[in-house]
Amino acid sequence: MKSERWKNKEKKIQDLCDAFGEPLERLLKNASWDSVVPAICMREGCDYTTEYEPDQDSGWCEECGEQTVVSILRLAGVV
């Protein structure tokens, strides 16, 4: 369910910034010229972060064993 999946979007963006130690604008700026960008699992309670293609919205989470990882650009609504 799409809306359910995105309901903790703000928190996930914050978690991602914390994990990479950079503010959102910095992550987005860096992402604009990288082939892989920061990505995070959208499942509540899971804080798995990794790097994926900029338009990834169903990347594999090694913690959950599901395709729940979304890129920072998707999260922020850039792509």
| Residue 9 lies near Zn ion (rule: CB under 5 A) | no
The candidate with the shortest Cα–Cα distance to 42, out of 6, 1, 77, 18, is 6
| Residue 52 lies near Zn ion (rule: CB under 5 A) | no
Number of residues in contact with Zn ion, rule: CB under 5 A? 7
SS3 31: helix
The candidate with the shortest Cα–Cα distance to 41, out of 18, 20, 64, 68, is 68
Q: Which stretch binds Zn ion (CB under 5 A): 2-10, 16-24, 25-33, 48-56?
A: 48-56
What is the binding site for Zn ion (CB under 5 A)? 41, 43, 46, 48, 61, 63-64
